[in-house]
Amino acid sequence: MPPAGFWTKRRSTMKRSDAAITEDGFLGNRIRLRQPADGYRAAIDPVLLAAAVSVSNGDSVLDAGAGTGAAAVCLAARVPSFRIAALEIQPALAGLARENAAINGFEDRLTVHQGDVMETGTLFPVEEMAMLAKSAGVMFHTDAVQAVGKLPISLKDGAIDMLSLSGHKLHAPKGIGVLYLRRNTRFRPLLRGGHQERGRRAGTENTASIVALGKACEMALEHMDYEKTFVRTLRDRLEQGILAAVPNCFVTGDPGNRLPNTANIAFEYIEGEAILLLLNKLGIAASSGSACTSGSLEPSHVMRAMGIPFTAAHGTVRFSLSRYNSMQEIERVIEAVPPIVAQLRKLSPYWGEDGPSESPEKAFAPAFA
C-alpha cells in the first residue's frame, strides 16, 4: 500500500477511489482519448493543435492537447465519421477568449495537453480553462505530467475532472503513473479482464512502484519551494551563460510564465541531435524535445506551431533540471556547449566564416514546410 498520507487529504486531494494506476501519463491520456468510441468527443491543443472530432451520432470531442502521443492517438482514430480541425496558435492567456468560444461549440469533453510545457516549460491557464469548460457543461482533462511535483495543484476545489501524471517526472520509477478521476466521472477502461482498480484497469498492480510514487509525491511537496527558487536560479544561470557565449541562439517559450526547471534553447543552423550526441560524450544528458517526439527527424511540431524559423527549429535542445543538480554542473554545461556549437557550425552549409550564409532560409526549403 502507498505510504500513509499519500491518498489522504493531508497530502493530496485524491482519494483511493478517485484514481486509476497506469504505467505512465501517456497511457492515462490514451485511456481518456479512447472515450470518443462511446460517443464522447475527443480533441488535440489550446496552444498547438486543437482538434474537434465529431462522430456519427452528433456527439463530438474538443481536445486541447499538444503532445505528439495524444495527437497520434486522435489521428489514428480518424474514420469517415470524424472531423478534425486545427486552431491557430496564440499566446496562452490571450487565447482564453478563443478557447471559450470553441468550448461553447462542443458539449461533452475537453482535454488540455500542456504540450508546450513538455518542450519549453511554458504554462497555460489550465484552471481558468477548466472553469470555462465547466460553465459550458464540458468534461475537462489535463495532461499534467510536467507540472506535478513542481507546482502546487489543487484538485479538491478546482474544476478539473481528469488529470494524468507520470512518476518518473518527479523521481519515482519509470513505468508508474496515475489517471485522476473526479467522483462520478463517466469512464470506460482501456484494459478489461479483471477487477483491479475498481474495474478501471485490469492487470496486477505494481505495488512497489505505487509505494515509490507515493513517497516521491511527499518528497516533491517538501521540496517545492526549493524547486521554485534554487532550481530556477540554476536554470536562469544556464540560459544566461549559454546565450552570452553562443551567437545566434535564443530561449523559446514564455520567459515570464514557465516551469522553474525547464530551459529550451534554439541554436540556429545546426541539428539538435548532433548537439545531443556530443553532449552525451561528455556525460551531459539533454533532449531535443519531449519524449513523444524522440526518434523523429522532423523539427518538433511544437516549435513549428510557435513560428520558430526552420533555421532554428531543427536545433532546439531542452535542458531539464532538478533539485539534484548543482551550480558546478551548470557551469560545466556552459563551458561545454560553445565549442560543440562552433564545431558543428563549421560543418554546416548554412554557416560561413563570419556567420550565417546569405539567405539560409531559402537553402533549407524543407519539404514539409
Active-site positions read: 292
CB burial of residue 357 (10 Å; 0-12, 13-18, 19+): middle
φ/ψ (deg, to 5) at 178: -140, 140
Cα three-residue angle 8-141-231, rounded to 5 degrees? 65
Write the DSSP assignment of 184-253 as a string of letters: T-----SS-SS-GGGGTS-S---HHHHHHHHHHHHHHHHTHHHIIIIIHHHHHHHHHHHHHHSSSEEE-S
Quickly tell me which residue has 480533441 as its cell: 43
Burial 75-98 (b: 16+ CB within 10 A, else e): eebeeeebebeebebeebeebbee
Distance (Å, whole) CA 108 – CA 172: 34
Quickly tell me which residue has 533532449 as its cell: 287
Beta strands in the chain (DSSP E): 19-22, 51-54, 60-65, 109-113, 139-143, 162-166, 177-181, 249-251, 262-267, 316-320, 351-352, 355-356
Task: Give 326's contacts (C-beta < 8 A, 6+ positions apart).
Answer: 234
The three-state secondary structure class of 23 is coil
Beta bridge partners of 21: 178
CB burial of residue 241 (10 Å; 0-12, 13-18, 19+): middle
Distance (Å, whole) CA 115 – CA 342: 30
DSSP state of 288: S
Using alpha carbons only, how large is the chain's radius of gyration in Å?
21
Q: Using alpha carbons, list the distances in angstroms from residue 38 to 59, 96, 134.
A: 9, 28, 21
